Chains A and B, each alone.
Chain A
């Protein structure tokens, strides 16, 4: 549609994409979206949809792009096109404070210690795939929502939770989270690009090269300008930006 960029987003992902009661979307994804719109001189129009209908909806032209913290993987690229990656979140393991795992210092140590333990991750994420591939000896449990994952962590059904940094920031601050701690090993997409992908990108219909060129340019500009960093600092108190490769 003329003069409007329609953006599909989940709306129920804390810090990334949050639809408030009146339907406005805020969060990191929303800031990126607004930035892109500003660059392209278009009006942003958000369409909030459940994750499972985002892709089919975009295919049937309910909106033009998906900005919902989508991780870029080779597998997914068969189905949709991605913009350049613009950010990536560091991943952490979380365990009980008194667990022997709490003091581990490197990924190989963790990989060894975690054998036979039950690990919770969010369903269908790149990091779920990561655990599955790299640590086949664990008992993997998948959750639809982070709140469910942390609830099971708190009730002791899982020994270890694995997820992105923003999640843990929130959880560790709650009363439930007080007994838990991050293992101080920061895992980034670049550590295992084959499974963890290449960071977050904006999803577009396959073959829409014109739009992709425009969005890529706009994103690159935002990265270079520090707009992405600004948003990242605001929501995550950390800089998750991936530099734009020209």
Chain B
């Protein structure tokens, strides 16, 4: 690897890393609860709500995120109502906001599936025990269902967190200069494709190792049987 290129590229990529981190953090912090809510919706008794949540998941899991981000950023921008509504335009007008929105919507769908099955597989008796105490649905959820489901879902969810970090790279297609955005620029400036690519990958890996290790520790902390 060429040292010149490395020293030239790293400052740019570090600037990008901040944006990547921002997108990923918001993506996870907002996408996680959102996904759980949708996951609950998919298991709800209300047919309409269930169908809405099911369709949302099918659409966002079934189509490439690149297309989703394009439609959110370029597609919706063609609707003049959205362009003239300050709130909506704030949401999708700025590349960064649109990227976060897309990441949240995308990870929400996957998170929903992970938690739907986790909720489904909880031993029925444990929930009945909570209900039989007269705890409100909210407390049954926060004190029994969620803690148990989380333990089961954590290994699969950790993958989702890593995916969010990586998928945030698609923000570069809508003018947001995160790691990949800078990387693309550096690559075509210097043609040192492999070198820059490897540095980029190392940055993503570093972030993900932190995230995955943190989640692994959390998992260990939470485990109670064997």
In the complex they form, do A and B come into direct contact, defined as C-beta atoms under 8 angstroms apart? yes
B191 at the interface (CB under 8 A from A): yes
Question: Contacts A141-B175, A144-B173; is A128 near B185 (CB within 8 Å)?
Answer: yes
Whether A123 and B185, one on each chain, are in contact in the complex, defined by CB atoms closer than 8 angstroms, is: yes
B140 at the interface (CB under 8 A from A): no
B93 at the interface (CB under 8 A from A): yes
Whether B193 and A56, one on each chain, are in contact in the complex, defined by CB atoms closer than 8 angstroms, is: yes
A99 at the interface (CB under 8 A from B): no
B residues 172-205 with Cβ under 8 Å of A?
Answer: 172-175, 177, 181, 184-194, 197
Whether B190 and A79, one on each chain, are in contact in the complex, defined by CB atoms closer than 8 angstroms, is: yes
Among A76, A151, A154, A155, chain B packs the most CB atoms within 10 A around the CB of: A155
B78 at the interface (CB under 8 A from A): yes
CB contacts (< 8 Å) of A155 on chain B: these are: 74, 77-78, 83
A53 at the interface (CB under 8 A from B): yes
CB contacts (< 8 Å) of B78 on chain A: these are: 151, 154-155
A residues 68-121 with Cβ under 8 Å of B?
Answer: 73, 75-76, 78-80, 120
CB contacts (< 8 Å) of A78 on chain B: these are: 2, 190-192
Minimum Cβ distance to chain B for residue A124 (Å): 3
- When chains A and B are docked, how far (Å) is the Cα of A143 from the Cα of B184? 10
CB contacts (< 8 Å) of A141 on chain B: these are: 95, 175
Option from B172, B173, B193 in Cβ contact (under 8 Å) with A53? B193
Whether A124 and B189, one on each chain, are in contact in the complex, defined by CB atoms closer than 8 angstroms, is: yes
CB contacts (< 8 Å) of B192 on chain A: these are: 78-79
CB contacts (< 8 Å) of B194 on chain A: these are: 56
- When chains A and B are docked, how far (Å) is the Cα of A53 from the Cα of B78? 33
A39 at the interface (CB under 8 A from B): no
Question: Contacts A123-B185, A124-B185, A144-B172; is A76 near B177 (CB within 8 Å)?
Answer: no
CB contacts (< 8 Å) of A124 on chain B: these are: 184-189
- When chains A and B are docked, how far (Å) is the Cα of A125 from the Cα of B184? 10
Q: List 28 A-B contacts (CB under 8 A).
A: A51-B188, A55-B191, A55-B193, A56-B193, A75-B191, A76-B189, A76-B191, A79-B192, A80-B191, A123-B184, A123-B185, A124-B187, A124-B189, A129-B189, A141-B175, A142-B175, A142-B185, A144-B172, A144-B173, A144-B184, A148-B173, A151-B77, A154-B78, A155-B78, A155-B83, A157-B77, A157-B93, A157-B175
Residues of A within 8 A of B (CB): 51-53, 55-56, 73, 75-76, 78-80, 120, 123-125, 128-129, 141-144, 148, 151-152, 154-157
Residues of B within 8 A of A (CB): 2, 74, 77-78, 83, 93, 95, 172-175, 177, 181, 184-194, 197
